[in-house]
Amino acid sequence: MFKWLEKNLPKIVMAPAVGLIGWFVYGFVLWTLYISFTNSKILPKYELWGFGQYEKLWASRKWLISVDNLLVFTALFLIFCIVIGIILAIFLDQKIRAEGVLRTIYLYPMALSFIVTGTAWKWILNPTLGIQKMFIDWGFENFTFDWLVNREMAIYTIVIAGVWQSAGFVMALFLAGLRSVEDEIVKAAKIDGAGLFTVYWKILLPMMRPVFFTSFVILVHISIKSYDLIVALTQGGPGISTTMPALFMTQAAFHKSQVGLSAASAMMMFMAVAAVIIPYLYSELRRENAR
Amino acid sequence: MQDNYQSSSYKELEQKSKYTNIFLRWFLYFVLILFASYFIFPLYVMVVTSLKTMEEIRQGTLLTWPSSLNFDSWLVAWGGRGYGAGDTFLRPYFWNSIKMVVPAVFFSTFIGAMTGYVLTKWRFRGDQWVFLFLLFGCFIPFQAILLPMARTLGTLGISNSVVGLVLVHTVYGIPFTTLFFRNYYISVPTELVKAARIDGAGFFKIFFKILLPISAPIIVVTVIWQFTQIWNDFLFGSTFSFGEAAPIQVALNNMVLSSTSVKEYNVDMASAIIAGIPTLIVYVLAGKYFIRGLTSGAVKG
């Protein structure tokens, strides 16, 4: 008995983690999947109902707007975060004075919650007292900046705040990547007469392909899950113009008693994340095994 | 940073004509400082606004410096105005968050250390798959587990309580903590462990005598990561708790959204600073470890 215990101790120690994740992650996802095939309203029902909830979901105007917003947000969020991140990383890589201070400034938003930063941005973007008033007081009397309360433009305020929060993170990833490149490679290129621009554009950036890939995966992941920032900044409004899938899901589940529908929307989010993450994990693991 | 890590492009610049050189340097600094002001702007506005009176806010602009350092809004945000019902302030929720964060960080870090240890030093058949099994938990959108979690907490009788949130944060922290410890322990030579085993050291002795003493850096990374994630969480907090059991982010959001009487932006900003200051302090003091967590675990909840 004692022998057995000793031999299996590592597995026994592993058991809680595997059990908890098995139950609370995989078990729960399967439960949600099952519920998405039922006609559950306020309470879960266990009678199968087929794809009805998915049909309802894709016929819902609010869901379509959510998906549309997610696509717009993701595209802009990705482009701006990566472009700003790369510019900052390359510029910081030029033997800059006070590099530490600048890095700290670029990255501190990552330490704050979206609720805290959302509160700040909401105040800054507030049309009566925020930026708009600042410019009017400075003498630009016709200046308007009412994106926060403008149906067409409100989604872009979420982009502004989201990019502000996450661009520094991309900068950190690229800076780490650039710093890990062997000096010899750069020196050799310079001996061959390559200028600074060519060195980055033709040699260093192409070497950063894994960093691009990682940034892409993480940013897409953040954007699919975005919830807090929208709650803090617009609550999905004005109207439902800035609603996104994560917000749709929680509202359907906890405010509108559409448990089945919310489960279906959660599964759509799950599949979107899985489509990005599984290839990523696969390639990461292969790289590790190749080492 | 060490010198040899720095790009040698500086030398390249030096060789160029002096004027291009000076111009380029100025341009570099100009762009870097421009971005720095964009990043610092919201924090500046928060601090300045929290120190103004509402009268000053209406008269000045976002950037105006307050006429005097007035911490009244901070006191109101923290302790309320003292008129009883309907007077919401952050103090009790701040403590809720502390009571939630400390045990959740402890448990998830401990479990992560153990699983990371087994996965690297007591390898068994299929351990790669077990790791992948756990790792996938880092990425699931939590919307896919909210409904069953709400029911489970209800069944266990811990919905709307700090205990419930401790459970939730512990469980969903395990994939990250496991990842951190596993990646750290994998670089510790297995020969050390093998030698100790030959000397008759058991499972726990090896962990406490060999692994734990060299784990300080990764423990710091993990604790900071978990602390920041759990402190800043809103989704779980707002779904599984309300009223008196709510953590600080939920309370902050409720305070800012409450539409009673006149909006007091100075109090809102003071509240936001109070809710953000613990993680900000950790970041400023231990930024190096925070960045290591970010770039190695690299997903934000």
Domain ranges of chain B: 3-70, 91-297
Please enumerate in sequence order all residues whose Cβ is within 8 A of that of A213, keeping only pairs 6 or more positions apart, or say none.
Answer: A280, A283
Measured CA to CA, the distance from residue B45 to residue B39 in angstroms comes to: 11
The string of DSSP letters for chain B reads --GGGS-THHHHHHHS-HHHHHHHHHHHHHHHHHHHHHHHHHHHHHHHHHTS-HHHHHHS-TTPPPSS---HHHHHHHH--S--TT---SHHHHHHHHHHHHHHHHHHHHHHHHHHHHHHHS--TTHHHHHHHHHGGGTS-THHHHHHHHHHHHHHT-TTSHHHHHHHHHHHHHHHHHHHHHHHHTTS-HHHHHHHHHTT--HHHHIIIIIGGG-HHHHHHHHHHHHHHHHH--HHHHHH--GGG--HHHHHHHHHH--SSS--HHHHHHHHHHHHHHHHHHHHHSHHHHHHHHHHH----
Q: What pLDDT digit, counting tens, does each position of A81-93 carry?
A: 999 999 999 999 8
A20 shares contact with chain B (CB less than 8 Å): yes
Question: Looking at the domain assignment, is residue A194 inside a domain?
Answer: yes
ipTM of the complex: 0.89
Cα Rg of chain A (Å, integer)? 24
Report, as an integer, the average pLDDT of A121-137.
84
Q: What pLDDT digit, counting tens, does each position of B82-123 carry?
A: 776 667 788 999 999 999 999 999 999 999 999 999 999 888
Of A29, A253, A40, which Cα lies nearest the Cα of B144? A29
Measured CA to CA, the distance from residue A108 to residue B279 in angstroms comes to: 10
Residue whose tokens read 């617009």:
A234
> Which residues from B are below 8 Å from A288, CB to CB?
none
CATH number at residue A190: 1.10.3720.10
Nearest CA in chain B to A188: B8
Which has the minimum average pLDDT: A171-180, A219-228, B79-88?
B79-88
Amino acid at B291: I
Note whether B155 and B174 are within 8 A (CB).
no
CATH code for the structural domain at B91-297 = 1.10.3720.10
> Which residues from A are below 8 Å from B136, CB to CB?
25, 277, 281
Which pLDDT belongs to residue B300? 34
Report, as an integer, the average pLDDT of A122-142.
83
Mutate to test the interface with A, among B4, B32, B295 (most CBs of A within 10 A): B32
Report, as an integer, the average pLDDT of B271-289.
92
What tokens does A209 get? 């392909």
Residues of the domain holding A135: 60-290
Of B256, B122, B109, which Cα lies nearest the Cα of B202? B122
Question: Looking at the domain assignment, is residue A37 inside a domain?
Answer: no
Q: Within 13 A of A107's CA, how many CA atoms are on the CB side? A: 27
Question: Looking at the domain assignment, is residue A51 inside a domain?
Answer: no
Q: Cβ A13–B203 below 8 Å, yes or no?
A: yes
Question: Looking at the domain assignment, is residue A180 inside a domain?
Answer: yes
Supply the pTM of this predicted model. 0.89
Of B66, B280, B63, which Cα lies nearest the Cα of A124? B63
Total domains in chain A come to 1
A112: alpha, beta or left? (left if phi > 0; alpha if psi -120 to 50): beta
